[in-house]
């Protein structure tokens, strides 16, 4: 049996087994306003330090600080992401979440988080959309023009000054490893952020011909050798960010973009312009990105070669949408065990039956040797 066939059978088998996990978990389902089940109560192991908890942890530098955005459109993804972080954490009570939301729905979002994760240590910050709306230019995909996509530019201003660093996570991902390992990334020298870099990618495509033909703009990277990185997973040194006024540097590029179109892809290019070539490299396992396909078709994609600690559905396709439409990609089933949304029972049952039939007919039990 060839390697490619083994890999495809293995992925299908893993997806099938993970699909069964939610039925085995003791998730307590009681009603709340948006139809989510309450997550299991994840507690620290004996090796963890005593838990301080509550708002007191917001300035505790010994806990892991995670920043994420919250809004109604991506709430299902955000809940699954938080669930995955807690589920795989060695010390889940030693994680503090900083949630960024617009001023239109903070009370409802706070109630939802409290009902799904009653023991969670978190703080919700209000992001004023007018802060950035005048700087946003049209993008290749309308969803990329959402002001909340630009909230990461303002983390240093919004999050309490006592917080010196955060792990920033997008809402369309799940972790399958301990976030503390990512948190321990050492950001060296003058570097401000850490992220997995992809130097094989065609960096020039992220900017327009007018950018590269401009003799001044094209020299912006100087002696730096920039590589593409995805801003959906970053370790950020907020102390250096604030001292270096990097929010303003990003805004300067956004203002230039409004006058002279130099890129097409939303909030990413300004980060590439400011930090490209000066990023603390993190292992690729921490951002298996692109699982949502490209920004136009949202087609299915396979995993990149190598180990996996984080699965990221960047791109147009989102796993919860494709699962509900009964048009999932194979890897979408790896997201499903973390989904706490309750309005999916009939859809899950139908998908379970279809997947079971597909696997048993196509693989004739050959995957069993991998797990049993």
Q: Which CATH number does the domain housing residue 142 bear? A: 3.90.550.10
Tokens of 164: 């010196």
Residue 312 · residue 334 · CB < 8 Å: no
Across 77-97, b (16+ Cβ under 10 Å) vs e yields: bbbbbbbbbbbbbebbbbbbb
Q: Which domain holds residue 205?
A: 35-325+337-342
pLDDT (0 to 100) of residue 52:
56
pLDDT over 90 at 15, yes or no: no
Q: What is the mean pLDDT of residues 228-243?
A: 97
Q: H or E segment at 120? A: none
Quick check: is 225 in a domain?
yes
Q: Where are the alpha helices (DSSP H) in 44-176?
A: 75-87, 106-116, 130-133, 155-158
Quick check: is 9 in a domain?
no
Question: What's the pLDDT band for 365 if we cut at 50, 70, 90?
Answer: very low
Quick check: is 77 in a domain?
yes
Residue 260 · residue 208 · CB < 8 Å: no
Quick check: is 365 in a domain?
no
In angstroms, the CA 310 to CA 179 distance is 9
Quick check: is 369 in a domain?
no
Q: What is the mean pLDDT of residues 199-220?
A: 92
114-147: pLDDT as tens digits: 999 999 999 999 999 898 988 887 766 666 778 8
pLDDT over 50 at 9, yes or no: no
236-283: pLDDT as tens digits: 999 999 999 999 999 999 999 999 999 987 899 999 999 999 999 999
Angle at 264 between CA 277 and CA 78, to 5 degrees: 80
145-185: pLDDT as tens digits: 788 999 999 999 999 999 999 999 999 999 999 999 999 99
Tokens of 275: 């930090």
Nearest to 12 by CA among 369, 290, 363, 364: 363
In angstroms, the CA 199 to CA 334 distance is 27
In angstroms, the CA 36 to CA 45 distance is 26
295-347: pLDDT as tens digits: 677 789 999 889 999 999 998 999 999 999 999 999 999 999 999 999 754 34
Beta bridge partners of 269: none
Quick check: is 25 in a domain?
no
Lowest mean pLDDT among 25-39, 82-96, 123-137, 324-338: 25-39
Q: Give the mean pLDDT of the chain.
A: 84
Beta bridge partners of 67: 98, 168
Beta bridge partners of 98: 67, 123
Quick check: is 30 in a domain?
no
Domains: count for the chain: 1
pTM of the model: 0.82
Quick check: is 60 in a domain?
yes
């Amino acid at each position: 049996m060839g390697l490619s066939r083994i890999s495809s059978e293995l992925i299908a088998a893993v997806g099938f087994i993970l699909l069964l996990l939610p039925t085995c978990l003791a998730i307590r389902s009681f009603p709340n306003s948006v139809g989510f089940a309450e997550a299991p109560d994840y507690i620290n192991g004996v090796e963890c330090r005593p838990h301080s908890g509550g708002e007191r942890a917001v300035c505790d530098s010994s806990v892991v600080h995670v920043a994420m955005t919250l809004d109604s459109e991506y709430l299902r993804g955000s809940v699954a992401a938080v669930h995955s972080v807690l589920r795989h954490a060695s010390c889940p009570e030693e994680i503090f979440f900083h949630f960024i939301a617009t001023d239109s729905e903070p009370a409802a979002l706070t109630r939802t988080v409290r009902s799904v994760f009653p023991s969670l240590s978190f703080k919700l910050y209000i992001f004023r959309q007018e802060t950035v709306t005048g700087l946003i230019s049209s993008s290749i995909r309308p969803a990329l023009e959402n002001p909340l996509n630009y909230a990461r530019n303002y983390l240093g201003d919004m999050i309490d000054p006592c917080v010196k660093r955060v792990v920033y996570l997008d809402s369309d991902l799940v972790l399958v490893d301990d976030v503390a390992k990512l948190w321990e990334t050492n950001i060296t020298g003058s570097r401000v952020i850490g992220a997995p870099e992809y130097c094989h990618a065609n960096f020039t495509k992220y900017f327009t011909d007018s950018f590269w033909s401009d003799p001044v703009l094209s020299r912006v990277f100087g002696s730096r050798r920039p590589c593409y990185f995805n801003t959906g997973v970053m370790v950020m040194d907020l102390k250096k960010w604030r001292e270096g006024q990097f929010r303003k540097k990003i805004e300067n590029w956004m203002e230039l973009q409004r006058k002279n179109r130099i890129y097409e892809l939303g909030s990413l290019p300004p980060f590439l312009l400011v930090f490209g070539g000066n990023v603390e490299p993190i292992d690729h396992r921490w951002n298996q990105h692109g699982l949502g396909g490209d920004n136009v078709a949202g087609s299915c994609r396979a995993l990149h070669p190598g180990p996996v600690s984080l699965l990221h559905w960047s791109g147009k396709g989102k796993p919860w949408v494709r699962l509900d439409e009964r048009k999932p990609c194979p890897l979408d089933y790896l997201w499903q065990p973390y989904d706490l949304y309750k309005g999916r029972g009939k859809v899950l049952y139908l998908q379970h039956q279809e997947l079971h039939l597909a696997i048993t007919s196509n693989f004739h039990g050959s995957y069993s040797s991998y797990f049993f």
